[in-house]
Amino acid sequence: MPELTITIGMATSSGATHSAAGDPIFGRERELTELEELVDGVFERGAALLVRGEPGIGKSTLVAASRRAEEAGMLVLRTTGVQSEAQLPFAGLHQLVLPVLDHADGLPKPQRAASVSWCS
Amino acid sequence: VVLIASREGVEGFFDDAGLPELRLGGLDDAAAESLLEAHGRRLTPAVREQLREQTGGNPPALVELPVLLGTDELGGRSLLPTPLPLTGPGQLHPWAPGHLRELPHFSGPPFASPSLIVPAYFRGDFAQDLNPKLAATLSAQQRPTDFSIFVTPSGPVAWHSLPSWYAVSGADRMIDPALQRAMAQRIGATTGEEPRPLPRVTRSLTLKIRRKEAQTGKGSGSRTRTEGQTIDRQWIIVISAYSASPPASGRPLSTVA
């Protein structure tokens, strides 16, 4: 099941070579640089990247390394696909926006109504 | 910026999204050597290369599979088995057999019988944020667990059709109480909360939650119950088993679900 991370804000380059848990990451310097470039350019352009690979190859570790964005004051939202929730409408979206649902009052009325309908 | 991690070979929502892709392959020899050395796995270059080829440079496979190999195989005096253990589709798991000790009177494939986490791996696998002394205490108090629950595909969620109650431990040091509350909200459970660690479900807490449901009339029971329907299955979730503070009673900690 896919894992989705959304980063909002701007980061400074820190040359991250450690996982979110603090363990060293080996052999992924090129990929980490690519992620850093995406995050560093967030105020100039939006970007999306699909990281693919076999189980255990390091996809989640690589994506989680973007925690440095949080350290730079960015808002980072995460969601992870859960097999048992595959048939539930908006389950992944609910997990993603749950930390910021308190801000729903600031949305325009149609979007607020929509968010309330699928989150309740 | 949107980052998505998706497993290869599994049909998914993002397959046809037209997004730029970053395809992760296996580690090269230099990275594999660094990884193995960091985990104390010292192999001859020839064995390491053979292992890397057969695992496709998969990091957890590189780290865990040497545990299953014999001295002669690790020393390059005999060939590695082909295929390597646990490298079939869907078999690789972060908790490799070397981390588990099956109970002696059971036998079967890995993860299929009640097992304990080997003490040397307990803190790293299960209790990273606890001090070593407390982690050792918890390790000694383990109860056998059927680890097949971690590798068996799950079915439809039960809480979607069954009434649910959730007991939140406000002093939980392993799972953030805020996360527990979010999970409770997610399953639409009637929620009770205790400010102290919850080593087990107590009758008083059960009554407290059920009383709250009866008072508010908004609990999951009333949400899912229709007229004439008999609720024959109920469940209570308690995720609060491990706290940084030992239980006041001195009794073993346990998870009850």
Cis peptide before B83 (omega within 30 of 0): yes
Residue ranges in chain B modelled with pLDDT below 70: 68, 81-100, 102-113, 128-129, 147-154, 173-174, 196-202, 216-257
B165 beta partners: B190, B236
B115 beta partners: B102, B145
Contact A70, B42 (CB under 8 A): no
First to last CA, chain A: 24
ipTM for the complex shown: 0.81
C-alpha B93/C-alpha B58 separation (Å) is 12
- Dihedral (C-alpha) A7, A50, A53, B147: value to the nearest 10 degrees? 50
Size of interface A-B (CB pairs under 8 A): 146
pLDDT for position B223: 39
Q: Distance from A108 to chain B by nearest Cα, in Å?
A: 23
Long-range contacts of B87-90 (CB under 8 A, 24+ apart): B87/B54, B87/B55, B87/B61, B90/A55, B90/B151
Contact B146, B110 (CB under 8 A): no
pLDDT for position B31: 92
Instruction: State the average pLDDT over residues A97-109.
Output: 86
The CA–CA distances, whole Å, from A95 to A1, A6, A89, A91, A118 equal: 14, 12, 12, 6, 12
Q: Do B3 and A38 touch (CB under 8 A)?
A: yes
Three-state DSSP at A74 gives coil
Contact residues, chain A, for B157 at CB < 8 Å: 84-85, 88
Residue B65: Cβ within 10 Å count? 23
Q: Distance from B141 to chain A by nearest Cα, in Å?
A: 26
Contact residues, chain B, for A101 at CB < 8 Å: none
The residues in A 49-108 lying below 8 A from B, measured between CB atoms, are 49-60, 62-63, 66, 83-85, 87-88, 94-95, 98
% pLDDT > 70, chain A? 72
The reply to whether B59 touches chain A by the CB within 8 Å rule is yes
Contacts with B98 (C-beta within 8 Å, 6 or more apart), sequence order: B64, B67, B68, B118, B121
**Structure tokens that stand for A80 in this block:** 């992870």
pLDDT tens by residue, B17-51: 889 999 999 999 999 989 988 887 778 888 888 88
Among the partner-chain residues A27, A38, A59, the one whose CB lies closest to the CB of B28 is A27
Contact residues, chain A, for B40 at CB < 8 Å: none
Three-state DSSP at A72 gives coil
Contact A50, B6 (CB under 8 A): yes
Among the partner-chain residues B1, B27, B31, the one whose CB lies closest to the CB of A39 is B1
pLDDT tens by residue, A46-73: 888 999 988 788 888 888 766 667 767 7
Among the partner-chain residues B1, B10, B58, the one whose CB lies closest to the CB of A47 is B1
Among the partner-chain residues A24, A57, A58, the one whose CB lies closest to the CB of B38 is A24
% pLDDT > 90, chain A? 3
**Which residue did the predictor score with more confidence, B8 or A12?**
B8
- Closest residue in chain B to residue A27, using alpha carbons only: B31
C-alpha B193/C-alpha B181 separation (Å) is 9
Entry pTM: 0.55
Among the partner-chain residues B21, B31, B58, the one whose CB lies closest to the CB of A52 is B21
